[in-house]
Structure 1
């Protein structure tokens, strides 16, 4: 019961952050989610309903599906083309950063090498969603943006392997470089293989079922969302990288969706909507949890915060060393230009996975004092990695076209389209009740109806005033379809010769219009 209540409270926080993001469009939705999580944790009554952070649940049911979706958004051909960059950032850069950070903090703060490695390993994974939030509204250099996304998909495994090596070294006093490197190669390749094989089998089975009379849309959706969780657990059970397994599985499904769009169009339309909903919800979930966790750290570790500032300086050192190594790697090894190198170094943003790795240490023999030091240190790394680029990108990157202007363009296009449909209906000689109903439906495309009008229509439906049968039902449906056709003609003429950036918004409106037509047809079937 506690798990259910905790999940509902967090989902309410996600919904609230989405509403607030509409009112405060100048701030990234990610930061709104973060702030809502902080506020919820600061209210004792609400905080008491939310369970403590569970590493295994978080990785299996939140991070694994999110990385699976990120993998599915990425074309496998792009991964093949960027394989050299992926190995460079997820393996070579991770090792260089680990070695540089290891000796820097062990020498500056008199920490043992095993403990220093634990701190460095936890701060290895980068977060694509967090990176998107800090660069929102700014034009990132294309090459560095792609490499940053590829890096964040695969370097979680590097951080986990380094952390395991650090914990073993901390407990036993021994570190086998050859053995740990061999384990990394085995778990990475093994994880990729199991992800590819299982995803391919599931894809073939699903495609076979789609082409038979036994096809059931909702069963496919259930299987789809269960796939990354099952693959993650299977890979982890075999001591392989569950993270790389789910990313690899997502890459397989990318090709499937692009080549089976029309075999079951209703399913794919529904599927696309639910994937967007699930992805947005889980992203909000991640940052609400991050906000909750950060606030709880401040509340619960208050004595540690005030007794010494060692955690602050260690965290700041780790971040600065990482920043410097990333810049030098991009500038002199991958030969990026200055702006690409700067954006690449600042784009290494840390988020919820870093915090999850901290909590994975619970029960692994780390003393309370050292655990608190790790927790506070990594909190500093997360906060600095998010705030620094958020501020600096405002000065060094050009802004994208203003989102408010784009929304206004889209609104104007829809208004003109709706006017075309209404003018068509106004010129028809039809029954007043049908004309009123159709006009309301057309105005509703632009949400250009009042609450009073809605209530009038609602009362009319319930009193059968707008429930048409026989000829009037056919007439209403036909007039709506004809009005939609007039609107489509207008959009088609509008898009001809229009610049690509504006055409995108015309196509968005066109897509919504087609969905409206399909709803009219569905009502006919009912």
Structure 2
């Protein structure tokens, strides 16, 4: 009963955080509000969530990473693939080495191997935190795709580096060759398992659907099970479950591009996944906040490890680590953008310092950092306590909070008027696709009309209905085939028409509900009518 009560409390805190974030006079990202609520729950109520890293990784990360991989546009990700790989792999190694020596120099009581482990766990950015910050800060799409791609891939590299650092701390030895081979097995194995499992499930699903038809609920449940299956299989084979979940999401995007799912399945599935994303994101940050009182309770012992007695030294170390992370990220991003994104013929300009600063501020740490640092072993191989474990956990938690605060303050300032290197307009290919789709629809209407009307006495009704539909599609083709000088006026007219349609749909829905209240329309019939209106409004609003 206590567990159920705690879960319901966490869910209520997620709902309350959304209300409070909108009520605050200043723009505060929802994750910070959720962390504050979690801390309040931990202080006021005598509840403690035992955050087991293995369970935490399994319950929350696979579906969220899978969804991020599913929804990120593959063409945009591959277009800036070199930049993403430089950030996801090169920057992580650069950060681990630089911050490892810096932390050990600043805190000599922390062994070098443990300092490298802490540097490794704070090196990857968190896709969940980045997405949460982006909801309140308008980030250019191209920049957001780079940040999402980086955060999806750097988790595995950071956690693998941490694994090697822990092994070095326990055994006192480290082999570069063995570490490289292990990293390749972990990364490539995770990608192959995630993508392969998803493609296999998609193929089997298509075969079953052809024979038995499609059941929307089953299709949605399958999409929910895929990330967990990919993660568990990869972890069982000692590969990266995180990369397996990401690869599964990317593969799911390719499967869905075939367009085999029913429209109702896509609509319902989107709703279910939106709910899961909102709930899981919120619970993660509430649980992070709930851990704060427990972590701070051991602050005194952690301070003594550093050789000081005043608690404010911990704040100094946390700020210093964040400044070090920002400096290393700024330097790497500057070089990376200079030699990749801005090296193309159309982009041969120096990277704007605000762009580099924005990408540096966007290096937000989150749940993966905390869950990773909690996997530090409790004891050494000889049974003695693992050195500076509590201090590492406290410093990692401080990095998470400070990076969130810095991003929530710095990103809006950096984003004002910021522009990415120009991209070719896709308006022409969009218009061409719309026209081609309309022509295909006209051809299919004509074919089906002849097939249905053949030999029937009421064939003229089929001809009339088909002619009316084809006229609508021909009107769309004529509307798309406009001269460049008329393009702006057409788009303005479309926006006006959209506003009028939304107002008309709202009036229709209001009248339907009014008739239901006056017993002039049945509830079941009203639901069907309102559902049609809701779908039409969602299409216009999208």
TM over 0.5: yes
**Does the CA contact (< 8 Å) of 1:140 and 1:343 recur in 2?**
no
Corresponding residue of 2:95: 97
The answer to whether the aligner puts 1:360 opposite 2:375 as a matched pair is: yes
Q: Distance in 2 between matches of 1:135 and 1:357?
A: 24
Superposition deviation, residue 135 in structure 1: 4.7
Pairing 1:330-345 to 2, within 5 Å after superposition:
330-335=333-338, 336-345=351-360
The answer to whether the aligner puts 1:77 opposite 2:78 as a matched pair is: no
**Does the CA contact (< 8 Å) of 2:116 and 2:165 recur in 1?**
yes
Q: In the alignment, which of 321, 342, 345 is matched to residue 318 of structure 1?
A: 321
- Count how many residue pairs are aligned between Structure 1 and Structure 2: 443
Q: Distance in 2 between matches of 1:297 and 1:418?
A: 53
Corresponding residue of 1:439: 511
Q: Aligned pair in 2 of structure 1 residues 419, 112: CA closer, same or farther (>3 Å)?
A: closer
Superposition deviation, residue 389 in structure 1: 2.4
Corresponding residue of 1:118: 117
* RMSD over equivalenced CA pairs, Å: 3.4
**Does the CA contact (< 8 Å) of 2:160 and 2:183 recur in 1?**
yes
- In the TM superposition, what whole-angstrom CA distance separates every residue of 1:69-120 from its partner, at most 9, and x where no partner exists? 0000123333433332232111111111111112222223324321210110
Q: Distance in 2 between matches of 1:3 and 1:229?
A: 23
Corresponding residue of 1:251: 250
Report SS of the residue matched to 2:6.
helix
The answer to whether the aligner puts 1:18 opposite 2:23 as a matched pair is: no
Superposition deviation, residue 337 in structure 1: 2.7
Superposition deviation, residue 310 in structure 1: 4.8
Q: Aligned pair in 2 of structure 1 residues 411, 278: CA closer, same or farther (>3 Å)?
A: farther
Corresponding residue of 2:457: none
Q: Aligned pair in 2 of structure 1 residues 33, 122: CA closer, same or farther (>3 Å)?
A: same
Q: Aligned pair in 2 of structure 1 residues 374, 420: CA closer, same or farther (>3 Å)?
A: closer
Report SS of the residue matched to 1:212.
helix
Q: Distance in 2 between matches of 1:136 and 1:222?
A: 27
**Does the CA contact (< 8 Å) of 2:65 and 2:246 recur in 1?**
yes
- In the TM superposition, what whole-angstrom CA distance separates every residue of 1:304-352 from its partner, at most 9, and x where no partner exists? 4665555433333322222111111121233133122111111111011
**Does the CA contact (< 8 Å) of 1:144 and 1:343 recur in 2?**
no
Corresponding residue of 2:37: 36
Q: Aligned pair in 2 of structure 1 residues 9, 137: CA closer, same or farther (>3 Å)?
A: closer
Corresponding residue of 1:186: 185
**Does the CA contact (< 8 Å) of 1:157 and 1:241 recur in 2?**
yes
Larger CA deviation: 195-204 vs 208-217: 208-217
**Does the CA contact (< 8 Å) of 1:135 and 1:393 recur in 2?**
no
Corresponding residue of 2:159: 160
Q: Distance in 2 between matches of 1:141 and 1:415?
A: 27
**Does the CA contact (< 8 Å) of 1:97 and 1:321 recur in 2?**
no
- In the TM superposition, what whole-angstrom CA distance separates every residue of 1:410-448 from its partner, at most 9, and x where no partner exists? 9986883257649xxxxxxxxxxxxxxx825269xxxxx
Superposition deviation, residue 43 in structure 1: 1.2
Corresponding residue of 2:59: 61
Q: Distance in 2 between matches of 1:167 and 1:91?
A: 19
Q: Distance in 2 between matches of 1:378 and 1:11?
A: 25
The TM-score normalised by the length of structure 1 is: 0.75
**Does the CA contact (< 8 Å) of 1:221 and 1:271 recur in 2?**
yes
The answer to whether the aligner puts 1:289 opposite 2:376 as a matched pair is: no
The TM-score normalised by the length of structure 2 is: 0.73
Superposition deviation, residue 136 in structure 1: 4.5
Superposition deviation, residue 184 in structure 1: 0.9
Q: Distance in 2 between matches of 1:83 and 1:511?
A: 31
**Does the CA contact (< 8 Å) of 1:312 and 1:376 recur in 2?**
no
Q: Aligned pair in 2 of structure 1 residues 391, 420: CA closer, same or farther (>3 Å)?
A: closer
**Does the CA contact (< 8 Å) of 1:98 and 1:120 recur in 2?**
yes
Superposition deviation, residue 477 in structure 1: 9.8
The answer to whether the aligner puts 1:374 opposite 2:373 as a matched pair is: no
**Does the CA contact (< 8 Å) of 1:65 and 1:225 recur in 2?**
yes
